[in-house]
Chain A
């Protein structure tokens, strides 16, 4: 290739990598706007995604302030109110599962715990497991994905095979089995703490191949791009290329896959608690509330509807936001 041709190619390289660049200062592709800015402007126009993002923010605030809100309302998630329970049927007295000015979402059958306070506290468990297990998956997936894509050879084939195998696995069954054989106390944690810790680790462990596969693919294609070649020809070392040239361009796909992974993890946590291998009562979690609601689906349907709707709204909000982020960061997207 001749020199005059080579120059523009090197200049154009960042725009070729625009599907990955998010806020890099070098990525000024269209009319001097950075890709991060383009993405943000696209996202701002996507009303559904914004609505999802708002609900997500609200949920995070609720989860963080759960004790404060519960205290303000004057309810304790683990306090019993047996006086509100029909002694004959075990269901709450009053209509719609005992909804009243005092108990905004009613009370649980049998022990009469306040459902509103339990939903608040359940949000903490859901979001905690959802976010932290996503972080576990992102860290493992990024490290191994970059290693596989960057070094190639036997490192790549080994990591790729492991990823294929894990992806083909019936994950829920393995997660359940693994969570259930884990000990009840370890590393100084007991009870709910250890269950959360184990759930986060196991869900994260089964999630990393999704990230790893994408990161590997991106790294593989970027490794051969001109701007990496240019850096190499200027004498840049492996680590410089890895951290300064490749990783910044991987931020976008990682963000997209992380936002898509959180709702899945929340569903998995709820499923585990629903099946009785996750968080145990009296600690409140949405899945566990649903599972105890099975016995009352005909006599107290509100008890089943409320945690179900809570899970639905949370997951839907994350999904809407995730879809929006994906569309906004996709250079091929027309909007």
Chain B
């Protein structure tokens, strides 16, 4: 189903420029390019063809590669071909594989942090409802979801990197130096995790409180189970279901490009690539990253579906 939607939304990208009368070939080569090369690129991309043919050609290219011919010369794009940037004269796939590890590291590292802190804060708040701890944690969480991530990012940069000089805000690839990589990633991780931990704490608290009111929790308590067991074995399990759904979506979206975080901390990831592409009107890169993101979401959702079966035996039977 998601595949169909990806294809439909994808066609919009081909459709809108056409409908709006934007000269798409020109935006593929650059505004200052001469008319001849614009025309050549237009022919290579088959921009005169109907939309469905263009979309089909694009998806076929991913599996068998694509040869752009027309306008005198031939441009090869080997499989998997996620498009070709005529502006920078390079295929999109190497750009994607180049930047993917940065974004993956950012998303996974932050996810570990926000799951630990978000879940802990949410569960504790639900169990100690109405106490000072609960109120304090929920005020911090509400502030957390109200703060734009690029603002907290800039503040933390100003405070810890420039003000105190504790951390160097420079990205170092993992293959170069582990400690350098770690040092460069700590601030982005904490900033990103703060936002999501706040969201997860709020959701966890609400879900947990609802579940603690369920009949089966009362039954578990009535049959004399210790409170710790009731919470861990009975309440936590049900609480995890909506959390997992959210995690799948959030991780998928982040892996596809944590645009705001990467921009704030100048991390050379997918999000930064797509933003640069948007600023340069380099449409093929936008299309390529968008597609990768959709794939990341698809895969994340699949993993979540499998995990459902682990925590909820009813899903296994169904």
With A173-B256, A181-B13, A274-B148: A297-B278 Cβ-Cβ less than 8 Å: no
Binds B, one of A14-22, A78-86, A250-258, A313-321: A313-321
Contact A182–B16 (Cβ < 8 Å)? yes
B260 within 8 A of partner (CB): yes
The complex places the Cα of A161 from the Cα of B6 at a distance, in Å, of 13
With A174-B9, A290-B154, A320-B142: A168-B249 Cβ-Cβ less than 8 Å: yes
With A274-B260, A297-B162: A177-B294 Cβ-Cβ less than 8 Å: no
B11 within 8 A of partner (CB): no
B22 within 8 A of partner (CB): yes
With A181-B22, A267-B148, A293-B154: A170-B297 Cβ-Cβ less than 8 Å: yes
The complex places the Cα of A36 from the Cα of B290 at a distance, in Å, of 45
A106 within 8 A of partner (CB): no
A301 within 8 A of partner (CB): yes
Binds B, one of A116-124, A148-156, A304-312: A304-312
A298 within 8 A of partner (CB): yes
Chain A binding surface, main DSSP class = helix
The complex places the Cα of A308 from the Cα of B147 at a distance, in Å, of 8
A41 within 8 A of partner (CB): no
Across-interface contacts of B17 in A (CB, < 8 A): 181
Interface size for chain A: under 10, 10 to 19, 20 to 34, or 35 or more residues?
35 or more
Contact B293–A170 (Cβ < 8 Å)? yes
Contact B5–A183 (Cβ < 8 Å)? no
B12 within 8 A of partner (CB): yes
- Specify which of B249, B271, B278 lies most central, judged by the most chain A CB atoms within 10 Å of its CB: B278
Contact B158–A164 (Cβ < 8 Å)? no
With A304-B154, A316-B146: A166-B5 Cβ-Cβ less than 8 Å: yes
A4 within 8 A of partner (CB): no
Contact A290–B146 (Cβ < 8 Å)? no
Q: Which residue of A lies closest to B15 (CB)?
A: A181
Contact B146–A165 (Cβ < 8 Å)? no
Across-interface contacts of A164 in B (CB, < 8 A): 1
Per the 8 Å Cβ criterion, residues 240-255 of B in contact with A are 249, 252-253
A97 within 8 A of partner (CB): no
B145 within 8 A of partner (CB): yes
A323 within 8 A of partner (CB): yes
Across-interface contacts of A320 in B (CB, < 8 A): 142
Contact A298–B158 (Cβ < 8 Å)? yes
Say which residue of B146, B150, B249 sits within 8 Å of A263 (CB atoms).
B146
With A276-B279, A312-B146: A178-B16 Cβ-Cβ less than 8 Å: yes
B2 within 8 A of partner (CB): yes
Across-interface contacts of A171 in B (CB, < 8 A): 253
Contact A165–B2 (Cβ < 8 Å)? yes
B214 to chain A minimum Cβ distance, whole angstroms, is: 13
Per the 8 Å Cβ criterion, residues 138-167 of B in contact with A are 142-143, 145-148, 150-151, 154-155, 157-158, 162
A333 to chain B minimum Cβ distance, whole angstroms, is: 11
The complex places the Cα of A287 from the Cα of B259 at a distance, in Å, of 14
The complex places the Cα of A142 from the Cα of B77 at a distance, in Å, of 46
The complex places the Cα of A177 from the Cα of B5 at a distance, in Å, of 16
The complex places the Cα of A290 from the Cα of B154 at a distance, in Å, of 9
Contact B151–A290 (Cβ < 8 Å)? yes
Contact A181–B289 (Cβ < 8 Å)? no
Across-interface contacts of A270 in B (CB, < 8 A): 148
Contact B148–A168 (Cβ < 8 Å)? no
Q: Which residue of B lies closest to A167 (CB)?
A: B249
The complex places the Cα of A263 from the Cα of B148 at a distance, in Å, of 11
Across-interface contacts of A51 in B (CB, < 8 A): none
Contact B294–A170 (Cβ < 8 Å)? yes
Q: List 15 A-B contacts (CB under 8 A).
A: A162-B5, A168-B249, A168-B252, A170-B293, A173-B256, A173-B271, A177-B278, A182-B20, A183-B21, A263-B146, A287-B148, A291-B150, A304-B151, A312-B148, A319-B145
The 3 residue pairs across chains A and B that have the minimum distance between CB atoms: A165-B5, A308-B151, A170-B253
